[in-house]
Structure formats: C-alpha cells, structure tokens
Chains A and B, each alone.
Chain A
Amino acid sequence: MKDESIIELYWERSEAAIEESERAYGRYCRAVAYGILRDMSDAEEAVNDTWLKAWNAMPPERPQSLKGFFGRITRQLSLNRLEKKMAGKRGGGEMALALDELAECIADRDNGEDFADQIALRDALNSFLRKLSPEARTVFIRRYWHVQSIDEIAKACGMSVSKVKSMLMRTRNRLKKALTEEGFFG
C-alpha cells in the first residue's frame, strides 16, 4: 500500500492503518529500535509505541515520507526508553559511547546547559551534513542516528575499523568548528 493510502487510513481513524504501517515499515522500525536498544522485546515495544504515537499525530499531520516519519518517532522513543532504562546505571553501551564522542563537538567555553533552540541546531546539522562527502555522511549518520557500533559500520561500509574511527573524528572536529562559527557556543 502506498504512503498516501496509509495516511488516509489514519485520517479515517481506521485501525487498518496500524496493520498497514506494520506491514510496510514494521521491519524498518524494528531495525532502528534494535540498533539503539539492543534488545528484541524492548525494540518490539518501541515499535508498538510508534504506531500509537503516529495514531495520535495523524490527523492533523500529513507526513511527506512515512518511512522518515516512523523512523524518527521510533528513534526518539527508543532513545527515551534507553535513557529511562539506563538511569542510575553506569556503562550504557553504544549510546553512552556515542554521546561521549558527540561531547567532543562542544566547545570548551560552552556552559554545558541544555540548548533550547533544537530547530536551529537541527537546521545547522542538516546544512553541515550536506557539505560532507557521501562516505563521511553515511558513517556519521550510521553512528549518531542509528547508533551503530564502529564494527558494524566498518562491516556495512566495507571499511576498516580504524578508517571509520578516523573518519568520525575528522567529521566531529569539522562539526565543532561549524557549530562554533555559527555561534552556537555563546
């Protein structure tokens, strides 16, 4: 079923919407959730929550790409779920490592408080990513959007682990520079 038809089902408040979403994008969302949560039952729950959230969002929303729309919801729900799960625990696996790495993109002079203007930051990231080589962009998105491990990226992209690491480091340095130049750090 095409995206438009599935969206129509949501707008008609037909429960078939969820069935069709599961059929078309269940597998994809499960992969996104599993990448972050690394646990099949948690991933399953995140995907179920995705359909609920989509049900509440449409109407009024009419997403242009359902895959992107569902993927984003699943990712955010999985991140929230992981955060809750890891609260009070040390370690934290791939996500903790990825966050540690991203912390390198923040200028030393930054005050370390939550940054309120997420939309400005998102736009800056979009424009930054478009300027990267396709290879560097792929590696960056796999690491920080999908939260794949360095090994997984190396295997998926046919690169050595050290190449992935050095590529990520270069990209992070460039991101830090770009965010600094755009005045994100005070």
Chain B
Amino acid sequence: MKAKNIMDALGGISDDLIEAAENSTPAKRLRLPRWAAFAASLALVIAAAAVIVPRVSPDRETNEAAKNRYKEGTNVITSGELAVEWPWEWKTEIEKYPEMVFEGKAYRTRARMIGSGLLEGKIGSCEAAGYDVYTETVQKKTLDVYAIRGVNRDLLAAVKFDEGFVVFLRDQAEMPKTLGELMGALSLPQTLRLEEFCEKEGAKTGDWYRTNASDKIWKALEGCAGAPCQIFDSFNADGISFSVTSEELGIRMKALSITENGYLTTNLMEYGYAFNIGEEAADKIIRLAKNGAVETKPAPYVYSIAGTLKEIGDGYILVDDTILCREEKDGIVYRVLTEDIRIRRCLEYLGGCRIGDLVVVNYEGYLEAGEEYVVQGAVSLAKGQLETDGAVSVPE
C-alpha cells in the first residue's frame, strides 16, 4: 500500500463526516450565519493570517509573574484566532492582498511586517491581488516592491502597504540544491539567529534551552555547505529543534532541527527541506548548542490577558483581572489599545462583548508594565468563560 492509496480512498468517505468536520469552526460558535462558517474555513486558506507585528514582548516574565497572583488553577486558555472571513471593509490592506506578481513571478504573503531599515531599496512595482469571498471578485492593486537586505529577491521581497512593509515569499520556488545555496540566498548566519531550542526524542518535545552559540553553529554549518537537499524521510528523528524567528525572512517560530542521524531539517521556506549534513557535523552542532545553554520556557505563540470588560473608550478598552486573583488588591486593570482594525472589528463588527463580561484579549505586541499596564498590538477579543476548575476558556 502507498500513502496515496489512503489519500485517494479518503476522497470517498461519507458526506456527513466531511460536513461535520467543515462545520466545526469557531465561526459557527460565534453564531454567524451558516454560510459564514464556510467563509471562515475559506478565510484560512485564501486570506492571510492576521499580520503579526514582529516584536518580541520584552516582558514575558512580567506577564508570567502576573499569573502568580491568580487563584489556584486559574489558567487563561489562549483562544485561537477568530476564524472569521471579515467583510472586505473590515480587513487590513495587508489581509486584502495576500498574493502578488512581480517580474512575472508569483509571490504569496508571509503576513509579517519588516522594518524599513532592513530593506535595500525599491526594485519595481507589482500587481497584488486578493479574493473577496463576499462578492466573489478578485481585487487588484499596484504596489511598490523592495529588496530585503541580504536576501535573494527571487525568493523573498517586501511590498509597501500603507501600514508598512510586508514580506512576500516566492510561490513554488525551486528547492535549493545544497545547504550552502540556501544559506547564501538568505544570508542565514545574519538573518536567522539560533537561540532557543528544545530537545526532541522522536515526536516528543523535551526541555527548552537558550543558547548564545548561534554564530558558532552557523560557522560549523558553513563547513556543511555542500550538504545536498533531500526529501524528508522522517520528521521524528531524535535531536534538537530550534524555534526560529526572523524579521528579514518574515517568519515567526518556525523550526530548524538538527537530527542525530545527520540531517538539518527546516520549514522556514514553508516546504520541508532536509539537508544531509552527516552524523559527525550534527553531533558537533548539538554539542555546541547544548554547551552553556540555560533552561528556558517556550514562548507562547500568542499572548493573552483575561478579565472583566470594565470600559469601552475611544481607542481603548479597560480589562480588569481582579476576578481571577486570590486577593482583590492584586487585580490589574489593563488598558488595551484598540486603534488597530483587527481588534476594532471584534468590538464593532462581531459585537457581543458587553461591560461586565469576562473577555480574553490576544495580543502580538507589547504589554507595557509601567504605572499602567498597556497592551499594544491587540488582535482579537472574545468572550471568555470561567470554568469550575478556574480556567478561563473561550466557549466552543
């Protein structure tokens, strides 16, 4: 039997099973009309994911410490992004145009912004396109394209939107022949820091560590420049796996793994690439990473706060987490900035959150902990529910 036999046979499974799977999106739970549940699933394949501001929260620890004030068992369950296909007018410009054609080549958005300081200069203009599922029309717009410093424009380029520059990835790019080719095309030693990794035992993820050996590891990998690119044999080999984030490459928390059986595998270009660097080099790199590494906690994919919605103001909302605290005096009032269309549309288009409700806010920017706790870069707001075990969840 081949995997394709299973894939083909799956095509014939009963309609009710497929329909049930399609209708299980959170959009349905938001009591949108039935067609919107479908639109929601389409949103996930057609529209880009919400644009993530590439800033690492400087106060991950502050936020963790805040949690120690909570009653035992309290745990804010990070809700997934709302799977809603927003009407065209409620989309950011960046969400509207996920595809573009430049110099006859197709690119797809990575939905991540890049600072102008990392760009080399304008190299031309492109035709960006997006699909409005509500009117079933393709919308087009001409936008300027910029080269990214150190990065081959045939693989990645930046497009200028009103909101800023966004990284686009070449569609169906040819696979690099060697590790050296990929490293050279993307200037990986400069654009990709190898800092946080976890131990992998098969599919199991072990402890997380932080290392400062990035330069040394890239140096060692330069010695493997001739390593050929291959199709993945297995995703689940033992070794270590770096969580990699790069503004230049438009990626956040992708994986780059070194396996004990001698491979470097990565999904940083979306496709799974595997380079056969040999067991000896892999062993050396794993030792370099582990030497002097300190234990750390993995960063969450999305940061959240939860609490009672106290006020809906002009450009902000106030969320008070006293209800979750052991002691009333420990409660914090967060000022969540709401200029961003992504949070405004939760408030204004979806509606449903009223003063006094328990809400969960996801944010991808900063939580500033000064005299006031200010949440910047909030991207979604949903009604939460306090479970009997103390967890705050976003209802199914």
Contacts and interface: CB of A to CB of B under 8 A. Distances in A.
Interface of A: 26-28, 30-31, 34-35, 38-40, 64-65, 67-68, 71-72, 75-76, 79, 89-93, 96-103, 105-106, 110, 112-115, 118-119, 121-122, 125-126, 129-130, 134-135, 137-138, 141-142, 144-146, 148, 151-152, 154-162, 165-166, 169, 184-185
Interface stretch (B21-29, B279-287, B315-323): B21-29
B65 interface: no
B327 interface: no
9 contacts: A30-B42, A34-B42, A90-B175, A91-B273, A93-B270, A97-B232, A137-B17, A141-B21, A185-B1
Contact of A27 (B42, B44, B83): B42
B41 A158 contact: no
Contact of A158 (B17, B271, B394): B394
A39 B129 CA distance: 12
Contact of A112 (B1, B26, B41): B1
A26 B137 CA distance: 13
A28 B38 contact: yes
A156 B26 contact: yes
Contacts of A165: 203
Contact of B8 (A79, A135, A152): A79
A129 B21 CA distance: 11
Contact of A141 (B17, B25, B232): B17
A90 B231 contact: yes
A100 B3 contact: yes
A8 B192 CA distance: 59
Nearest to B50: A155
Interface SS majority for chain A: helix
A106 B45 contact: no
B83 A155 contact: yes
Select the residue from B45, B49, B136 with max chain A CB neighbours within 10 A: B45
A157 B24 contact: yes
A184 B5 CA distance: 12
B18 A155 contact: no
Given A103-B3, A114-B5, A118-B12, A158 B26 contact: yes
A79 B106 CA distance: 21
B45 A148 contact: yes
Interface residues of B, number: 61
A20 to B, nearest CB: 15
Given A121-B6, A141-B17, A40 B99 contact: yes
- 7 pairs of A and B residues whose beta carbons are closest in the complex: A68-B15, A158-B80, A141-B21, A102-B3, A121-B9, A115-B1, A91-B271
B44 A148 contact: yes
A96 B271 contact: yes
A144 B2 contact: no
B273 to A, nearest CB: 8
Contacts of B19: 67-68
A99 B6 CA distance: 9
A32 to B, nearest CB: 9
B5 A115 contact: yes
Contacts of A89: 172, 174-175
A161 B301 contact: yes
A122 B12 contact: yes
Interface in B184-243: 203, 205, 229, 231-232, 235
Interface in B247-288: 270-273
Interface string B353-370: 000000000000000000
A93 B17 CA distance: 25
Given A158-B79, A161-B301, 9 more contacts: A27-B136, A93-B270, A114-B5, A121-B9, A154-B80, A155-B49, A155-B83, A158-B26, A159-B80
Interface centre among A26, A64, A169 (most CB of B within 10 A): A169
